[in-house]
Chains A and B, each alone.
Chain A
Amino acid sequence: MWWIAQPVTHQGLLEREAWYLFLAAAALVGVYVYVCIFWCLFAYNRRRRPAAASFTGNPPIEIAYVAIPLALVIWLFAVTLRAEVPMDRVARNPDGIVGVAAFRWSWRFAYAEGRIVTVGTPFAPPTLYLPVNRTTEIDLTTDDVNHSFWVPAFLFKRDAIPGMTNRFDITPTRTGTFLGRCAQFCGLEHALMTFRVRVVSASAFDAFVKTNGQATP
């Protein structure tokens, strides 16, 4: 089932913990308010209650309903910070750096300081190789308009914006092939701006780099 999908990166695991706590809070509040509304529809229907009360408020109750949600969002903010701070951290010494350049409407991946470059097209999406259990820094840029690098299985995206390089770390925790795509609308063929991510063993990735991309994992 999609909402209990196991995260495949270290960063995704952090997101998932926050997600479950938010979902629990959402369900609690949602069910409580729905029950209150349906209770009113049932118990205070005119057929059952021809005469209405006439009170216009109750300050202690109103203040309580400010204080309780306030406490809830403060707790949610703590949950947010606990996940976000390590997700945003960029290691000073990453195990490797991969350059990702977005352009209308595909991607260019550069490994080993640009010695290996893969370029895709909308109809032949490129493949991004990442080593498992290593922290890879992605240096994200764009050649033209705004794009966004999104791998749903990583539970993560970051925008590519002209004039800046966006850096973030990814630490995959299991091998496999995942779908990636542009999330920021970028014109005509935005829908076809996809790529594949293959998370491979560290040794296969090393062989890929050592042979200048000849030994495709």
Chain B
Amino acid sequence: MIDWLTATDHKRIGKLYIFATLTFFVIASVLALVIRAQLARPLNTLVGPEAYNQIFTLHGTAMIFFVIAPFGLGLANFLVPLQIGAPDMAFPRLNATSFWLFALGGIVMFCGLAAYGGAAANGWTSYAPLSEIVEGTGGGTDLWILGILLASISTILTAINLTTTIFLFRAPGMTMWRIPIFSWEIVATSVLILMAFPSLAAVLLLLLVDRHLGGHFFDAAAGGNPILYQHLFWFFGHPEVYVMILPYFGIITEIVATFSRKPVYGYVGLVIAAFAIAGLSIGVWAHHMFTTGAVNNPFFSAVSLLIAVPTGVKFVNWIGTMWKGSLELSTPMLFAIGFMLNFLIGGITGVILASPPLDYDLHDSYFVVHHFHYTLGGGSMFALFAALFFWFPKIYGVRLNERLGRWCFGLMYVGFNVTFLPMALMGIEGMPRRVYTYPDVGHLALLNGVASAGSVVLAAGVALFFVNILVSALARAPVPDNPWNGYSLEWVTASPPPEYNFVTLPAISSRRPAWDAMQPQGDVS
């Protein structure tokens, strides 16, 4: 126990991140099931508006700040030093600080449930001036602000740590143009974090000052400006979307190449695309504000549409990697395929929402809920499970059961699509997001009923994953160093890796050191 509390080894901190994010994931998933239960029928009264507004706020905030984003960085904690041949992160104690700030942030936010007036209930965007109302909503909102502040500081520290590690701690022979795409995506993610997260910390502090110290920054009656809140928030908020997807793009690239038995197609193009996405994402924030009438819509529309181009490059390179390969459809690869099929839908609906005339209708409707769940749920979350199945043997020395894994994927893929596909139609029919009830008009009752049924299947798939961990851990089958024939450096060392990661490092003379080590004729030494 004390070992874990004082751990500074990157592998232990990576495991702590995985444990904490999966715990928050289970809590946020249960909240999602309550949402679907309430919305299963029109005019349902399972939970009232007080509870419902807290539930969707905590669900969204937890998934974004305490699951999807930190899992990517936590996995990077474990993998990046192994992939680049380093013994640890650049700043191990800073790394431990990051983790504990993050864990504390999540606990502080959920403590809001016990506060007077309940937890925060303003949505994950917490728009001012709604979030500035103090009476009757006391402690929960403040704890929410503090929790996110802690998480944002933690994220900034992690980004500094990861970039320093990748730039300065690479093994001999591991040039920048040889590091795996996952590590490249982490560089792009970290740069994005360093640009965007200070804006989040600033806007949360201003909100706190407004709430308790009479700041009036966002109070129109006193000369403040509510639009300023949206600018500061989305200047962080849109890059955050890419912080939640770039690491997962990297995961997919590694898995697709491994299970196609082929080198990554267009390595340089993938790196350029990652930085093009990161760069463009800094200039699109106001596409969340098309309906405010307060921003230059054509400019933000044009930049948002442009992001489709480098994202398309990613798809070209994944398909190019599979092209003429020898595809083995193991569980990680199935999740990677599921990621591509789902994320494509999320990307295409993103292009639709990037057009202001269409956004005038669809903004703040269930179409938007459909869109971002296809990117972050069908996208990032599927990649998260792909990563767990892929690296579980390396991280824990336990190989997950393949049969149960396939069932897990099947249930999740079907459940996810049955849940979230109908939401596009709900939005088109005029159902706004963040409503605890809806009238029985049009096809809303049918569509919501189908979505709620799908959520049960999705939950069964997720539950099966945890059953799989239990079954596989009890089976205690021996795990080889490289169970999937992976090509990057982490597959050269033992599963799980020893302290300081490598007993001896192989000669690194290409982007695929593990394959070179398996085939002596490819070794230049």
CB distance from A161 to the nearest CB of B (A): 6
B325 nearest CB across to chain A (Å): 4
Residue of B nearest to A15 (CB): B357
A79: chain B residues at CB < 8 Å are 355
Contact among B122, B133, B308, B436 for A73, CB-based, below 8 A = B308
Interface hits, A18-69 → B, CB 8 Å: 18-19, 22-23, 25-26, 29-30, 33-34, 36-37, 40-41, 44-46, 49-58, 61-62, 65-66, 69
A59 to chain B, nearest CB (A): 8
> Do B294 and A164 touch across chains, with their CB atoms under 8 A apart?
yes
Contacts of A150 in B (CB 8 A): 364-365, 430, 432
Q: A52-B262, A163-B225 are in contact. Are A33 and B315 (CB under 8 A)?
A: yes
Stretch from A91-99, A107-115, A178-186, A204-212 that touches the partner: A178-186
| Cβ-based interface call for B301 (8 A) | yes
In the complex, A126→B125 CA distance in Å? 29
The reply to whether B326 and A54 contact each other, CB–CB distance below 8 Å, is no
B435 at the interface (CB under 8 A from A): yes
Q: Is the beta-carbon distance between A179 and B430 smaller than 8 angstroms?
A: yes
**A184 contacts B364, CB within 8 Å?**
yes
- CB-CB under 8 A from B260, the residues of chain A are 44, 52
Query: Are A191 and B301 touching (Cβ within 8 A)?
Result: no
Does B450 touch A at the CB level, under 8 Å? Answer: no
Contacts of A166 in B (CB 8 A): 292-293
User: Does B352 belong to the interface (CB within 8 Å)?
Assistant: yes
Check A76–B355 contact: CB distance below 8 A. yes
Can you list, as one digit per residue, whether each of B499-520 has a CB less than 8 Å from chain A (1) or not (0)? 0000000000000000000000
With A and B bound together, what is the CA distance between A2 and B102 in angstroms?
45
A96 CB to closest chain B CB (Å) equals 20
Taking CB atoms, residues of chain B closer than 8 Å to A187 are: 53, 121-122, 130, 133
Contact between B345 and A30, CB atoms less than 8 A apart: yes
Question: A interface, how many residues as a size bin?
Answer: 35 or more
Q: How many angstroms between the C-alpha atoms of A41 and B263 in the bound complex?
A: 17
Does A217 sit at the interface, judged by CB under 8 A? no
> B130, B313, B315 — which one has the most chain A CB atoms within 10 A of its CB?
B130
A18 touches B325 (CB 8 A): no
Task: Point out the residue from B298, B348, B436 that lies within 8 Å of A29, measured CB to CB.
Answer: B348
Binds A, one of B85-93, B265-273, B380-388, B490-498: B265-273
Q: Please tell me if the beta carbons of A56 and B265 are within 8 angstroms of each other in the complex.
A: yes
Within 8 A of A (CB), among B267-316: 267-269, 291-294, 297-298, 301-302, 305-306, 308-309, 312-313, 315-316
Which one of B268, B325, B341 has the highest number of Cβ atoms from chain A below 10 Å of its Cβ? Answer: B325
| Bound Cα distance A119, B241 (Å) | 40
- Contacting residues, chain B, for A158 (C-beta < 8 A): 291, 293, 360
Asked if A124 is at the interface of the complex by the 8 Å CB criterion, the answer is no
- When distances are taken between beta carbons in the complex, the residues of chain B under 8 Å from A155 are 360-361
Main DSSP-derived SS at the B contact region: helix
List of A residues within 8 angstroms of B225 by Cβ:
163
Q: How far is the CA of A153 from the CA of B361 in the complex (A)?
A: 9
- In the assembled complex, the Cα of A187 lies from the Cα of B434 at a distance in Å of 10
CB < 8 Å neighbour of B327 from A19, A45, A168: A45
Smallest CB gap from A191: residue in B: B435
Q: Is B437 an interface residue (CB 8 A)?
A: yes
Query: Is A162's CB within 8 Å of the partner chain B?
Result: yes
Residues of chain A lying within 8 A (CB to CB) of residue B238: none
B317, B324, B357, B364: the one contacting A83 at CB < 8 Å is B357
Query: A15-B357, A18-B358, A73-B308 are contacts. A26–B364 as well, Cβ < 8 Å?
Result: no
What A residues does B437 contact at CB under 8 A? 191-192
Assuming the A-B contacts A40-B325, A162-B220, A189-B49, are A183 and B363 also in contact, with contact meaning beta carbons closer than 8 angstroms in the complex?
Answer: yes
A66 to B316, CA, bound (A): 9
B177 interfacial contact with A, CB 8 Å: no
CB-CB nearest in chain A for B312 = A69
| B306 CB contacts on chain A under 8 angstroms | 70, 73
CB distance from B448 to the nearest CB of A (A): 13
- CB <8 Å contact, A182 and B432: yes
Residues of A within 8 A of B313 (CB): 62, 65-66
Residue of B with least CB distance to A180: B430
Interface residues of B in 15-57 (CB under 8 A from A): 49-50, 53
- Shortest Cβ gap from A196 to chain B (Å): 12
> Looking at the complex, which of B73-81, B197-205, B408-416, B438-446 is the stretch in contact with chain A?
B438-446
How big is chain B's contact interface, by range? 35 or more
How many angstroms from the CA of A37 to the CA of B318 in the assembled complex?
Answer: 9
Residue A81 at the B interface, CB < 8 A? yes
- Across the interface, do B326 and A50 meet the contact criterion of CB distance under 8 Å? yes
Residues of B within 8 A of A152 (CB): 361, 365, 429-430
Residue numbers in B under 8 Å from A188 (CB-CB): 49-50, 53
**A26 with B265: CB separation less than 8 A:** no
Question: Is the Cβ of A34 less than 8 Å from the Cβ of B357?
Answer: no
Q: A30 touching B291 by the CB < 8 A rule?
A: no
Residues of A within 8 A of B436 (CB): 191
How far in angstroms is the closest Cβ of chain A from B329?
7
Assess whether A148 is interfacial by the CB under 8 Å rule.
Answer: yes
CB distance from B465 to the nearest CB of A (A): 23
Count chain A CB atoms within 10 A of each CB in B225, B298, B323, B349 and give the residue with the most.
Answer: B323
Given A53-B325, A185-B434, check contact A69 B341 (CB 8 Å). Answer: no
Q: A44-B325, A152-B430 are in contact. Are A80 and B308 (CB under 8 A)?
A: no
Q: How distant is the Cα of A30 from the Cα of B315 in the complex, in angstroms?
A: 12
Whole-angstrom distance between the alpha carbons of A28 and B440 in the complex? Answer: 34
- Give the contacting residue for B220; candidates A45, A84, A163, A186; CB below 8 A: A163
Q: Let me know if A123 is at the binding interface, CB within 8 A.
A: no
Tell me the complex Cα distance, A73–B357, Å. 15
- Given contacts A62-B269, A150-B364, list 8 more A-B pairs with CB under 8 A: A37-B322, A44-B327, A52-B325, A54-B262, A156-B360, A162-B220, A162-B226, A187-B130
> Can you report 23 A-B residue pairs in the complex whose CB atoms are below 8 A from each other?
A3-B428, A22-B355, A23-B352, A26-B352, A30-B345, A33-B315, A40-B322, A46-B327, A52-B261, A54-B262, A56-B263, A69-B312, A70-B306, A73-B308, A73-B309, A84-B356, A87-B360, A150-B432, A157-B364, A158-B360, A161-B226, A164-B293, A181-B430
> 5 smallest A-B Cβ distances: which pairs?
A152-B430, A163-B220, A191-B435, A162-B220, A40-B322
A residues sitting closer than 8 Å to B (CB atoms) are: 2-3, 14-15, 18-19, 22-23, 25-26, 29-30, 33-34, 36-37, 40-41, 44-46, 49-58, 61-62, 65-66, 69-70, 73, 76-77, 79-81, 83-84, 87-88, 144-146, 148, 150, 152-153, 155-159, 161-164, 166, 168, 179, 181-192
